[in-house]
Amino acid sequence: MSRVVLACLVVLCGLVGASAASAASAADGSWDGVNGVQHLHFETGPITVKPGQNSIDNVFVPDAQKPKVDGYIVRARPDLTYLDGKVPPVDVIHLHHGVWLNASGTSPASPAGQVQPIFFGGEEKTVFRIPRGYGYAYKKSDKWILNEMIHNNTPNREKVRLVWDLDFIPATSPLAKSITPVIPFWLDVRRGWGYPVFDVAQRTGGADGQFTFPDEVPTDPYANGPKQNEFSMPYDATLVSAVGHLHPGGLRDDVRLTRGGSSKLIFRSQAKYYDPAGPVSWDVSLTASKTKWRAGVKAGDVLSIHSTYDARQSSWYENMGIVLVFVAPHDTSGPDPFATPVSPEGELTHGHLAENNHHGGKAVVYPDARRAAGKAGATTVKIKDYQFRPGDLGLLYNKKAKVPVVAKGQSLTFVNQDDASYEWHSITTCRAPCNRQTGISYPLANGLAGTQFDSGQLGYGLAGATPAANRVTWKTPSTLSQGTYTYFCRIHPFMRGAFRVQ
Ligand SMILES: [Cu+2]
């Protein structure tokens, strides 16, 4: 697969490949069991994942990795596997997102750049389904781009591939004659941004412990530009399918339809967490629209997306709110939501997945830094070879190792000395002792209120299109009160460290 550098088109964090699609029968409006639907499997060549990487690539998809003839795509299930076909545990390596884009197509509602999205994968591993009677029109001459972000949580080099299963109906088959083509519309609370994220930690109140973007942002996040979460329909159409994307902590993506002064909730992509710790990890599935769901919309109607996160447990600054809607232009068969109620309720596209089994947080694996000796006069902590020096909890097995101590009112400076072009690290508070086994829901950014800090991702990447902070240093707040502070790296959560303020 040839790698090319493009301006970042999209970014979406999420993943891929769910195991069990809904088994709705054809009578329910699905394609399941319908004769003439081909089940095609595609995969990339081996992709070398650098130690610890969390970066983004755009690659052209060779013709061999696409259907050979024109036709209609009606289902997509992306995933990431090792070369032997096994799916890696999500706490080891995962597809943070993959977005399959058609560079030969356009959509009135595109992500950043004007390339047409087709489907995407994220850690939530949603399966995309287009209901019976509709399909995404594919041409073998289409040029596809895959925007991929693979996150290696470990300091080991790995080889993986992206895989995607498509249900496909050749254009020459009798079945194709009854298909109405649909176009994917990309709704995004940060539509147009290369790295479309928002900060949940900016919330200022709210008794329910939840935060909805953009509705509950204290100051209008769109004050200096277009309302990114809104999209005005260019023509009458029927919406036939929708599914959302969220990061851990995300609870739901709502799509509202506004006409004149009236507004209706027409679709909700609801998160179901299988993780016993609640909305903190990737052990989650989102609802997609039911196969019978339809909404008739008129030219000038406004679609808007509103994304709600839990703000109590693991809220942070890198959250997404996206819904992909498949739209049949000029199809007026769908019920008008203002005349006939349209249920926003969807259905899960898969259950708990085995690759999310390792939640972590049980066994104690590091010493308790609160009991370790301190060394006064510390000024700098170097991050090298995935260790915090001094202060790494792993180093404290050596009884002679000490925790760096900084005087109250002073700061400690952290410097990332790994290869900052792709080895990005953060210094993020976790509640002491923060010394248990790493998993998809441990550690959490649960430093005590008033003493929380987060460095951002120290490293370099394309500005505005990656999460890199584009700096390699960070200073601890000088306002911290006395005590021992434990922290971890959000990108490599086995990395733990401590310092003391005295
Ligand atoms: Cu790190």
In the chain, the percentage of residues whose pLDDT exceeds 70 is 93
* Cross-strand pairs, 187: 323
274 C-alpha to ligand 1 centroid (Å): 26
By the 8 A CB rule, do 80 and 162 touch?
yes
233 C-alpha to ligand 1 centroid (Å): 43
The stretch 380-405 carries a mean pLDDT of 95
386 C-alpha to ligand 1 centroid (Å): 6
494 C-alpha to ligand 1 centroid (Å): 8
Between residues 303 and 316, which one has the greater pLDDT?
Answer: 303
428 C-alpha to ligand 1 centroid (Å): 10
430 C-alpha to ligand 1 centroid (Å): 14
424 C-alpha to ligand 1 centroid (Å): 6
Cα–Cα–Cα angle for 136, 140, 141, nearest 5°? 110
454 C-alpha to ligand 1 centroid (Å): 13
112 C-alpha to ligand 1 centroid (Å): 28
368 C-alpha to ligand 1 centroid (Å): 20
399 C-alpha to ligand 1 centroid (Å): 24
Between residues 6 and 421, which one has the greater pLDDT?
Answer: 421
Is residue 194 predicted with pLDDT exceeding 50?
Answer: yes
Is residue 227 predicted with pLDDT exceeding 60?
Answer: yes
235 C-alpha to ligand 1 centroid (Å): 47
387 C-alpha to ligand 1 centroid (Å): 8
383 C-alpha to ligand 1 centroid (Å): 8
Smallest CA-to-CA distance from 495 within 215, 216, 153 is with: 153
427 C-alpha to ligand 1 centroid (Å): 8
218 C-alpha to ligand 1 centroid (Å): 32
**pLDDT at site 206:** 63
215 C-alpha to ligand 1 centroid (Å): 33
Which residue is it, tokens 């769908």? 334
**pLDDT at site 203:** 57
- Bond before 155 cis per omega within 30 degrees: no
In the chain, the domains with their CATH numbers are: 3-356 (no CATH), 360-502 (2.60.40.420)
495 C-alpha to ligand 1 centroid (Å): 6
What six digits make up the tokens of 192?
Answer: 């147009």
**pLDDT at site 457:** 93
Is residue 138 predicted with pLDDT exceeding 90?
Answer: yes
367 C-alpha to ligand 1 centroid (Å): 20
By the 8 A CB rule, do 89 and 26 touch?
no
145 C-alpha to ligand 1 centroid (Å): 29
Q: Which long-range contacts (CB under 8 A, 24 or more apart) does 24-30 make?
A: 24/290, 24/291, 24/347, 26/132, 28/290, 28/291, 28/292, 29/131, 29/132, 29/133, 29/290, 29/291, 29/292, 30/129, 30/131, 30/132, 30/291
144 C-alpha to ligand 1 centroid (Å): 32
Residue 144: which region, alpha, beta or left (left: phi > 0; alpha: psi -120 to 50)?
Answer: beta
Smallest CA-to-CA distance from 480 within 411, 415, 430 is with: 411
415 C-alpha to ligand 1 centroid (Å): 12
150 C-alpha to ligand 1 centroid (Å): 15
What six digits make up the tokens of 178?
Answer: 């009854």
Radius of gyration of the chain (CA): 23
Instruction: Return the DSSP state at 392.
Output: B
**3-class DSSP state of 119:** strand
By the 8 A CB rule, do 210 and 165 touch?
no
**3-class DSSP state of 354:** helix
Smallest CA-to-CA distance from 363 within 206, 208, 494, 252 is with: 494
**pLDDT at site 172:** 97
497 C-alpha to ligand 1 centroid (Å): 11
In the chain, the percentage of residues whose pLDDT exceeds 90 is 76
DSSP 398-449: STT--EEEE-TT---EEEE-S-TTT--B--EEE-TT--BPPBTTBS-S-PPT
Where residue 205 falls among pLDDT bands split at 50, 70, 90? low
What six digits make up the tokens of 140?
Answer: 């073998």
**pLDDT at site 27:** 60
212 C-alpha to ligand 1 centroid (Å): 29
Between residues 30 and 339, which one has the greater pLDDT?
Answer: 339
The stretch 86-94 carries a mean pLDDT of 92
Mean pLDDT across the chain: 90
Which residue is it, tokens 């996206």? 322
Instruction: Return the DSSP state at 178.
Output: G
156 C-alpha to ligand 1 centroid (Å): 12
488 C-alpha to ligand 1 centroid (Å): 8
- Report the distance separating Cα 100 and Cα 421, nearest Å: 25
**pLDDT at site 202:** 62
425 C-alpha to ligand 1 centroid (Å): 3
By the 8 A CB rule, do 317 and 271 touch?
no
What digits encode the pLDDT tens for the residues 339-352?
999 999 999 999 99
250 C-alpha to ligand 1 centroid (Å): 23
* Cross-strand pairs, 302: 232, 258
Q: The whole model's pTM is what?
A: 0.90
Is residue 176 predicted with pLDDT exceeding 90?
Answer: yes
The residues, ordered by sequence, that sit 6+ positions from 437 with a Cβ below 8 Å of its Cβ are 360, 361, 362, 363, 364, 365
What six digits make up the tokens of 157?
Answer: 């080099």
What digits encode the pLDDT tens for the residues 374-387?
999 999 999 999 99
434 C-alpha to ligand 1 centroid (Å): 16
349 C-alpha to ligand 1 centroid (Å): 32
Cα–Cα–Cα angle for 84, 41, 117, nearest 5°? 115
130 C-alpha to ligand 1 centroid (Å): 39
Cα–Cα–Cα angle for 478, 482, 484, nearest 5°? 100
**H or E element at residue 79:** strand 71-82
- Report the distance separating Cα 99 and Cα 381, nearest Å: 37
